Chain A
Amino acid sequence: MNDDAMNKNTKGDVDIAVRSRLAFSSNAMQALYRLLAATLLCAVLASLSDVFLTENNILNVLRQTALLFLMASGLTLVILTAGLDLSVGANIALSACLSASVMKATGSASLGVATGIGCGTFIGLANGVLVTALRIPSFIATYGVMWMLTGLTYFYMGGETIHGFPPAFRQLGSGYLLGIPMPVYVMVLFLAIGTFFAQRTIWGQQVYAIGANPVAARLSGVPVHSRLVLVYTVSGAMAGLASLIILARINSAEGDIGENLTLPAIAAVLVGGTSLFGGSGTVMGTLIGALILTLVLNGMNLLQINASWQPLVTGVIVLVAVWISTLTRQSGE
């Protein structure tokens, strides 16, 4: 096979140009652009609204960002392998409802936590098995699982609402430590763990390699299936964790608790600069993505813009962010 650039058709060339970055410096640049955008956004909102810079509002933004980040962090790893997890929201619903009923029955916060995380992890593991052992494309596998989980949750709850959880548990969502909401600590913890995993472990390196070329990764001795099972399991576990924080915050569980959560989580990952084609992106980027989305929605609330506009604005941000990623990746060539 000839390797002169000639026989690559132009599509191939663009593809390489878009995705071939010095993985390291490009990621740093991407994060910088986004941080800049977030800062700019803050400046604009501060000048338009007196409420924006109040302590209450800032803590509120941080808490929302934390929740969105936790849902999106595990998903980031899945997307790095060029996969997708559409079951995040449905996973959160089932995990939250099971956890709620366990707590209601036993009164034990720790049993509730174990149930939520255990349920989420198990669902993630199931996704991983479907994608690897049964070789179902992740989009379809997790799409099917999403429907099944939603059905299970409705069946289990039967239209009931469970509310009133132990105070110790509620601290997880509503508590403060040194004046900062608890979820923010959880966010920082998992940002550190996620970044360490992705950048500083050989498993993380293998995840990037799988996203870039699964065939070459396998022929280089990377246990592709185990790594895929791992990232789907982590995504499920993070959904389980997020379900607990939601539960602790709103102090009640209903069957539809996970509705409208999956797509914002995917938006946070994309706005954060992770490529849907796999192999490029960072957990830190996802945090910034979650922050940008939260800031925009917060700003719209403060400026009393009709909430019906929010999905439209989110869509525009996702498109603009992905478009900018494409541009910056190309111009770096």
Chain B
Amino acid sequence: MNAEGVRSPTLFELRGISKEFPGVKALDDVSFEIRAGEVHTLVGENGAGKSTLMKVLCGAYRADRGSFFHHGRQVAIADPVDARKFGIAVIFQEFTLVPYLDIAKNIFLGREIRGPLPGLVDQRRIHAEAKRVLDAIGFDINPYIQVHKLGVAQQQMVEIAKALSQDARILVMDEPTAALSDRETELLFTMIGRLKTNGVAIVYISHRLAEVFALADRITVLRDGRKVATVLPAETTPDQLVALMVGRSVDTTYARPPRPHAGKVVLEVKGLGAPSGIANINLTVRAGEIVGLSGLVGSGRTEVARAIFGADRISSGEIRLFGERITGSTQDSTSRGMALIPENRKTQGLALARSVGDNVILAGLRKLFPSGIFAPGKAIQAARAIIAKLRIATPSVHRAVGTLSGGNQQKVVIGKWLNARARFFIFDEPTRGIDVGAKAEIFRLLDRLVHDGAAVLMISSEQIEIVHVCDRAYVMRSGRIVGELARDELTEANIVGLAVHR
């Protein structure tokens, strides 16, 4: 959309990049061009090659074939030091800040400005210098604040300030809004706008198409390691983009067969309160229905899920599962058929270093081996059955789960609970960081679960998911449920109307 951006000269160019890993062609003859003052978004399903391409750009991987041009001059990028020389910086999702140092010291970490005495740092100068960098990106904050006191969004801005203070001209951002609230996202976008006017180029990777359209000057689509197209946002639509990404049309993301009528009450929560900040929560979930739990980030949805599951202490109220009161431990709730697919599958859902098989059988050990005696052969068999049932793409049951793609990791978490024969599932942001194709698959799976008589409580920050997937939904605000929407009232406008303060 930004005509000026399109006209501005090419800052950096990758031409004909190929990269092969044993058994996979990760990149196949991909060319990518970065212009000053432009946001170039990179989209594609997980495994399409976005990450590999960016790792080649920042010097973490060496390309097998292909060449690089900096201001039209051919250059070589063999390692991260080379990349930094050309002003390329990556803003990682998991930040590399030191929590107990202040903002200024983090920005100048490893490049401290020397004071008059050897070994000492010139405190005043680095804070003044940091303030200047922060001002330049419009981030109004005291550089003396320690980083651990900052929110995720603010930490991200410190990362960006750090990169810019090292003369970065090309910033690579990988899903920068994944952990941000709507307001924080807005701030980030404002800042990106400012960076653009300063001539900084931004490579922006995102699964959220709305963001892509809001930000992009150009959009490059990767699929299976190949560049499918580079398009201007004005000349395409989200549907067309999705079709390019998956190579087929996906109106079917949310399509679902009709649901049978809801059956017996599976979960009944009355007057639930917890020290984690929720109060007077009343809700029911019946067999055969998907109930949404909506609200803004921080409204207490995850806290409700954790309290029901027995992961957090509760201070009042009662929880009944299949009519029986549960005692509030994860052991009790899981043994009664409850399952939690947590918000963060890497830190809460999986033992990344352990095998797919070990992860899949973990929750169902007691049911699989009631005598307590473990039989590896039987465990592997059970795991293979789940892998086949959920079509988890893994070369082997012994493969470390951390090496799988996000969608497949999520399936491992779900598989864990299928193996444990769970009948009530709490999904906390089940599609976070998952590409469009895998998303549709997860929803089909949800559908199959309720079709078979299970009950589902689903938390999602994307209202559209709640609207299309759920049979009804509760909306939370400030730790309380502020409304319930039946199927025919379930619209994005109604959810947002309840979720925000008026």
Contact = CB atoms under 8 A, between A and B. Distances in A.
Interface in B345-377: 346-355, 358, 361-363, 365-366, 369, 372-376
B496 interface: no
A9 B346 contact: no
B175 A2 contact: yes
Given A23-B358, A219-B349, A220-B334, A16 B50 contact: no
A220 B403 CA distance: 21
Nearest to B416: A220
B220 to A, nearest CB: 15
A52 to B, nearest CB: 38
Contacts of A221: 330-331, 333-335, 363, 366, 420
Interface of B: 46, 50-52, 54-55, 60, 90, 92-94, 96, 174-175, 178-179, 205, 207, 309, 311, 329-331, 333-335, 340, 342, 344, 346-355, 358, 361-363, 365-366, 369, 372-376, 396, 398-400, 402-403, 405-407, 409, 416, 420, 432-434
Contact of A279 (B52, B348, B353, B402): B353
B373 A200 contact: yes
A19 interface: yes
Interface stretch (A34-42, A203-211, A298-306): A203-211
B179 A1 contact: yes
Interface of A: 1-10, 12, 15-16, 19-25, 199-206, 208-209, 212-213, 215-223, 279-280
A285 to B, nearest CB: 17
A104 to B, nearest CB: 41
Given A216-B351, A220-B334, A3 B366 contact: no
Given A23-B398, A221-B420, 11 more contacts: A2-B205, A3-B407, A7-B93, A22-B399, A22-B400, A199-B374, A200-B376, A205-B358, A209-B362, A216-B351, A217-B351
Contact of A202 (B334, B335, B372): B372
A223 B334 CA distance: 11
Contacts of A5: 51-52, 55
B433 A1 contact: yes
A201 to B, nearest CB: 5
Contact of A7 (B174, B363, B407): B174
A208 B358 contact: yes
**Among A208, A209, A220, which residue has the most Cβ atoms of chain B within 10 A?**
A220
**Among A4, A22, A204, A279, which residue has the most Cβ atoms of chain B within 10 A?**
A4
19 contacts: A1-B93, A1-B175, A2-B433, A4-B174, A6-B90, A7-B175, A19-B353, A20-B352, A23-B354, A24-B376, A24-B398, A203-B372, A208-B358, A212-B351, A216-B348, A221-B334, A221-B420, A223-B331, A280-B353
Given A2-B205, A219-B348, A8 B400 contact: no
A9 B92 contact: yes
Nearest to A277: B353
Contacts of B420: 221
A23 B175 CA distance: 32
A7 B311 contact: no
Given A219-B340, A219-B342, A9 B51 contact: no
A3 B374 contact: no
A20 B174 CA distance: 25
B397 to A, nearest CB: 9
Contact of B406 (A4, A217, A218): A4
Contacts of B358: 23, 205, 208-209
Contacts of A215: 347-348
Contacts of B354: 20, 23, 208-209, 212-213, 279
A145 to B, nearest CB: 27
Contact of A201 (B92, B346, B373): B373
B18 to A, nearest CB: 18
**9 pairs of A and B residues whose beta carbons are closest in the complex:** A3-B406, A221-B334, A20-B400, A6-B51, A7-B93, A2-B175, A212-B351, A22-B398, A4-B51
A199 to B, nearest CB: 7
B27 to A, nearest CB: 13
Contacts of A199: 374, 376
A221 B338 CA distance: 10
B374 A200 contact: yes
Contact of A205 (B60, B335, B365): B365
A2 B353 contact: no
B330 A1 contact: no
Contact of B50 (A6, A206, A208, A212): A6
A205 B334 contact: no
A286 B101 CA distance: 41
Contacts of B329: 223
